[in-house]
Chain A
Amino acid sequence: MSAQGMASPITVPRARPAWLESFVGQLLALLASFGIALLIGSLLILAYGENPIEVYRSIFDASLGSADGLGYVFAIATPLIFSALAVSVCFKGGMFNIGVEGQYLVAMIAAAVAELNLDFLPGFLLVPAVLLAAMFGGMIWAAIPAVLKVKRGAHEVVTTIMLNAIALSLVGWALNGPLKYNDAPEGAFVDLRSNVFPDKGLVGDLGSVFGVTPGAHLSWLVFLAIAAAIIVWFLIRRTRLGYEARAVGSSPGSAKAGGVSIGSTQIRLFLISGALAGLIGMQQILADRGYLPLNYVPLLGFLGIGVAFLGQNNPIGIIFAAILWGILSRGEVALQISSQVPREFIIILQGVLILTVVIIYQIARRRLAARQLQQAGMAGELGDSDAPEESAGPRGPEDTGAEALEPVEEKRI
């Protein structure tokens, strides 16, 4: 190149590898946010006149102190992993899928339909078919907002919220109509539900393998959840779709000018999100109940938003966030048994935790960006040194906005 050597050669200092820097930084940020959340929790406990250390220990004992406790923790975490992954996939592409809730409800209907109509299949085919049906159901419900967004510009937050309401009614309609149970004993009063699924169509209890009480309903779906997280990680970091999704999410203009089809990327992300959402309800109906009840556990789709933020939208982070969520949820039981602190304390602690994680990470991210900049030696040049701060900007403020919002919603729920 003819213009080389136009300034004296630059020395490239060997720095710590970026991943290590970010790993150490993440770990520190995580510990700091936990510390602060526990501290705030301690103040609340003290206000109830209890000993924080005792209370925290009882939570710890109930969740991690025994095989049963651990079983419960993982059983709680399983649907949350699917849910948070569903949220995070859309988020990577700059979209906010609030409709995970509706998608998993529709998926449960689809799964129930498959269970009751494909019962001629042997178990080893029936269960995968049911899971696929559930994923397909979630995808259909996710395709609607995706297409509306891409074709008509309708904001996905608005459309998914409305579709959630429709999905809610759809479950009621299905259980009153096409899926209405007719195998109940004559004259017995039964909650509104579908017919009981064939036994071969249920997923096996994993608890017996690890010596966990069947009451935990721990199933091998937990491994499916972890596998899903790894697949999502691979998808986002190692595939063309993930690459394009991240480009669309953080700079739609540049992605478009690079020949990426924004609409097609967004639709594909929404479909993947819907498929993941479809698996949320599976533990519930295939391992726990064995039928589709009207009194299903609701709001798992919304909890996923909180868990996704807690895991910083990182698939691996989400696994740990979901487990942490499980630990705290399991701790509720311990609180009721061993202290005067009301169980709502756990919900507060979960909310505080999301807040501290979000805030601390935001601080850490800014510091890292500033550091990178300074090491790049451009700190002085406004034109572009501003860009880093601002480039985090286009997405950044939105992130924080959304993140700041969510925990609030969480608490309301």
Chain B
Amino acid sequence: MTGGDGAGGSATPPLVVLEHITKRFPGVLANDEVDLELRAGEVHALIGENGAGKSTLMRVLYGMYPADGGRIVVRGQEVRISSPRDAIANGIGMVHQHFVLVDPFTVTENIILGEEGGERLDMDAAQQRVAELAESYAFRVDPGAVVEELSVGEEQRVEILKALYRGVEILILDEPTAVLTPSETTDLFGNLRKLREAGRTIVFISHKLDEVMEIADRITVLRRGRVVGETRPSETSKATLAEMMVGRPVLFRLDKPSVEIGEPVLKVEDLTGEGKLNGVSLEVRAGEILGVAGVEGNGQRELAESLIGLRTPESGTIELEGAAIGGRPVFDIRNAGVGYIPEDRHEQGLVLTMSLWENSVLGRQDDTDFSGSLGVLYIRKIKDLAARLVKLFDIRARSVDVTASTLSGGNQQKLILARELETDPKLLIAAQPTRGLDVGAIEFVWKEILDQKAAGRGVLLISAELDEIYALSDRIVTLFEGKITGEFPPDAPPEQVGIGMLGRAPQEAA
């Protein structure tokens, strides 16, 4: 491992040098004398836990934050970058995790927005230029398509093209794969390789180590605002990187507690609805984690939402310990003993504008512990609950009065877990429970899920990450086009499960 300043193996002069960048926020040293070099034509991965300062560093480079110290040298010249406009003028572009596109506009209109060139718009010519640009880097996107009809992966391509259209040479991608399906990730990596061949430089912010190992030429690891090392995929391993990020060894496989599998907790039969679920049948037993594997968009969301009552199934039955809960309101299903970790924690988990204490009771506000018969909230008791959950789950927050929006993703997820597990649900529905989390937080969530199993409860784990399915499940079923297409033991080879995910086996049978 070489130091941050190391010249590395290549002799080419660095394209961008960040020297001793320091960025302070009140009470927090987000970047502490960080040095970083970017070379032409490399994919440079910037990894670290949430709060390590990766995004802050890149936002400084992109002109969104002024640095408190240090300097930025681009192509041998010191530059002042005080706005994204300056950054783009210096050939630096950034694609954020949340896209900023005009939904009713076409791809071309979005890309040329602000760069129309002249008063008269020649949309055909612009479309032609965009098409050529997309072609040259193998981006699969229709320049005439309307953005609101695109998938997340396609929208991301539009964002990248937007930066490229402005002549950007250094492209910063902030957690680009967090929102992508596995196949979209593969596509993205194809595009990135093309860009690298064309001599563009890519900064890839991530905490998914498999992806970093696959795509990066060089890797810089940040921890608590400092560079803790710089390395190459060929010189390191996932375990080493994880340890560098977290500061201690990280277990990628946790021991599954051995619990006697009991009676069925959840029984789903022939669940059908909204064209997305076409007769799903499955069973989760006490002390068992059932993993539902599948490529996203094959009914996972609909399955989870039907089970918790957010959707009403058209037909089929859902039974919780023998009692029918299908089509009941969410409130009843929760009270019957179902916990829910939603796939989208901002949309369905937390009310971001409300405080931690208010969020900690969401779903239980009717509980006689937390409000009286006249509907007056017992604020003291709710705050006590929140304080207990914060302590128990090690949620990092200034106080229980801050809004949920101020928490990092990992801490938000912990808050949801804490809330959902507090009631000791008989069944936990965990939909993509570690999406967007860093390794430390993933480990935490996994342990909590395994603890549920150890306590003899049933867990339905729905995940697009096969790793996660394997790490936790006692049984694996695959979901494809709204049908269960196979059931596998936890030691089945991934290739077999992969075939189930693509739905081949049962289609032949049918």
A259 in contact with B330 (CB, 8 Å): yes
Chain B residues within 8 Å of A258, by CB: 330, 334, 362-363, 365
A2 in contact (CB, < 8 A): yes
Q: How far is the CB of B418 from chain A (nearest CB, A)?
A: 10
With a cutoff of 8 Å between Cβ atoms, the chain B residues found around residue A240 in the complex are 365-366, 371, 375-377
From B57, B346, B348, contact of A387 by CB (8 A): B346
A50-81 CB mask vs B (1 if < 8 Å, else 0) is 00000000000000000000000000000000
Q: Are A250 and B444 in contact (CB under 8 A)?
A: no
Cβ-defined partner of B407 (8 Å) among A7, A18, A369, A378: A378
Whether A390 lies near B351 (C-beta < 8 A) is no
Contacts of B96 in A (CB 8 A): 382, 386
Q: Which residues of B contact A4 (CB under 8 A)?
A: 394
Question: Bound complex: CA of A382 vs CA of B100, how far in Å?
Answer: 14
Asked whether A6 and B53 contact (CB < 8 A) given A251-B350, A391-B353, the answer is: no
B352 partner, pick from A2, A8, A251, beta carbons under 8 A? A251
Determine the residue in chain B with the shortest Cβ distance to A244.
Answer: B365
B308 within 8 A of A: yes
A211 within 8 Å of B by Cβ?
no
| A362 close to B (CB within 8 Å) | no
A369 cross-chain contacts in B, Cβ below 8 A: 405
Q: Is B248 an interface residue (CB 8 A)?
A: yes
B53: chain A residues within 8 A (beta carbon): 380
* Interface residue A400 (Cβ < 8 Å from any Cβ of B): no
A259 to chain B, nearest CB (A): 4
Question: Shortest CB–CB separation between residue B356 and chain A, in angstroms?
Answer: 11
Given contacts A3-B443, A6-B246, A372-B403, contact A254 B351 (CB under 8 A): yes
Chain A residues 231-250 with CB under 8 Å of chain B are 238-241, 243-244, 246-247, 250
**B residues less than 8 Å from A243 (CB atoms):** 358, 365, 377
Give the chain B neighbours of A12 by CB distance below 8 A.
398-399
Interface of A is mostly: helix
Query: Taking CB as reference atom, which chain A residue is nearest B30?
Result: A380
The residue in chain B whose Cβ has the minimal distance to the Cβ of A389 is B405
Give the docked Cα–Cα distance between A321 and B360 (Å): 34
* A401 contacts B by Cβ under 8 Å: no
B406–A388 touching, CB < 8 Å: yes
Closest residue to A382 on the B side, CB-wise? B55
Q: How far is the CA of A3 from the CA of B449 in the complex (A)?
A: 12
CA distance A10 to B436 in the complex (A): 22
Q: Is A27 an interface residue (CB 8 A)?
A: no
A13 touches B (CB below 8 Å): yes
Mark each residue of chain B from 19 to 46: 1 if its CB lies under 8 Å from any CB of chain A, else 0. 0000101111011000000000000000
Interfacial chain B residues near A336, Cβ < 8 Å: none
Distance in Å: Cβ of A391 to nearest Cβ of chain B: 3
Contact with A along B318-335 (1 / 0, CB 8 A): 000000000001110011
Q: Which residues of B contact A377 (CB under 8 A)?
A: 25, 27-28, 30, 51
Let me know if A337 is at the binding interface, CB within 8 A: no
For residue A395, give the distance in angstroms from its CB to the closest CB of chain B: 7
Chain A neighbourhood of B7, CB < 8 A: none
Q: How many residues of chain A have a CB within 8 Å of chain B?
A: 55
Known: A238-B379, A387-B405. A257 touches B349 (CB 8 A): yes
User: Could you give, for residues 388-417 of chain B, a 1 whenever the CB lies within 8 Å of some chain A CB and a 0 otherwise?
Assistant: 000011101111011101111100100000
Q: Is A409 an interface residue (CB 8 A)?
A: no
Interface residues on chain B, number (Cβ under 8 Å): 81
Most buried by B among A4, A251, A392: A251
Interface assignment of B285: CB less than 8 Å from any CB of chain A: no
Chain B 358-381 interface 0/1 with A at a Cβ cutoff of 8 Å (1 = within): 100011011000010011110100
Using Cβ atoms and an 8 Å threshold, which residues of chain A touch B399? Answer: 12, 15, 18
Binary contact readout A351-392 vs B (1 if CB under 8 angstroms, 0 otherwise): 000000000000000000101111111111111111110111
Whether a CB of chain A sits under 8 angstroms from the CB of B310 is yes
Most B CB within 10 A of own CB, among A3, A4, A7: A3
**A260–B334 Cα gap in the complex (Å)?**
11
If A256-B330, A380-B51, A380-B59 touch, whether A391 touches B352 (CB-CB below 8 Å) is: yes
Is A379 a contact of B447 with CB atoms below 8 Å?
A: no
A3 cross-chain contacts in B, Cβ below 8 A: 394, 443-444, 447-448
Q: Mark B90-102, 1 if CB is under 8 A from A, else 0.
A: 0000001110000
**Closest partner residue, chain B, to A371 (CB atom):** B26
Interface residue A255 (Cβ < 8 Å from any Cβ of B):
yes
Check if B440 is an interface residue, CB within 8 A of chain A.
Answer: yes
Whether A239 contacts B375 in the complex (CB less than 8 A), given A250-B353, A382-B97, A392-B353, comes out as: yes
- Check: A253 CB closer than 8 A to any chain B CB: yes
CA of A271 to CA of B128, assembled, Å? 56
0/1 string, B418-453, CB within 8 A of A gives 1: 000000000000000000100010011001100100
Known: A254-B362, A257-B342, A257-B349. A379 touches B376 (CB 8 A): no
Residue among B28, B59, B247, B310 with max Cβ neighbours from chain A (10 Å): B28
Residues in B neighbouring A250, C-beta threshold 8 A? 351-354
Chain B residues within 8 Å of A372, by CB: 402-403, 405-406
- B300 contact set on A, CB distance < 8 A: none
Known: A6-B248, A380-B59. A259 touches B406 (CB 8 A): no
Does B508 lie at the interface of the complex (its beta carbon under 8 Å from any beta carbon of A)?
no
Kindly list chain A residues whose C-beta atoms are within 8 Å of the C-beta of B379.
238
Q: Mark B253-268, 1 if CB is under 8 A from A, else 0.
A: 0000000000000000
Instruction: Determine how close the nearest CB of chain A comes to the CB of B390; give it in whole angstroms.
Output: 10
Return chain A residues, CB-CB under 8 Å to B358: 243, 246-247
Q: Is the CB of B407 within 8 A of A376?
A: yes
Option from B50, B334, B344, B365 in Cβ contact (under 8 Å) with A384:
B50
Q: Does A169 contact B (CB under 8 A)?
A: no
Q: Is A413 in contact with chain B by the CB < 8 A criterion?
A: no
A27 → chain B closest CB, angstroms: 19
B227 to chain A, nearest CB (A): 14
Could you tell me the distance in whole angstroms from the C-beta of B448 to the nearest C-beta in chain A? 8
A388 near B405 with CB under 8 A, answer: yes
B412 touches A384 (CB 8 A): yes
* Nearest A residue (CB) for B25: A374
Contact of B351 among A1, A238, A246, A385 (CB under 8 A): A246
**In the complex, A391→B345 CA distance in Å?**
12
Does B218 touch A at the CB level, under 8 Å? Answer: no
How far in angstroms is the closest Cβ of chain B from A186?
55
Bound form: Cα–Cα A254–B361 in Å: 12
Report if A388-B403 is in contact (Cβ < 8 Å); known contacts: A13-B398, A380-B51.
yes
Q: Given contact pairs A2-B447, A383-B50, A387-B346, enumerate 10 new A-B contacts (beta carbons under 8 Å).
A: A3-B447, A238-B377, A254-B348, A254-B349, A258-B334, A375-B406, A376-B407, A378-B408, A384-B50, A391-B353
A-B contact pairs, 12 of them (CB 8 A): A2-B447, A18-B399, A239-B371, A239-B374, A246-B351, A246-B358, A251-B346, A260-B362, A374-B27, A377-B25, A380-B57, A383-B178
**3 closest A-B pairs (Cβ-Cβ)?**
A380-B56, A391-B352, A259-B331
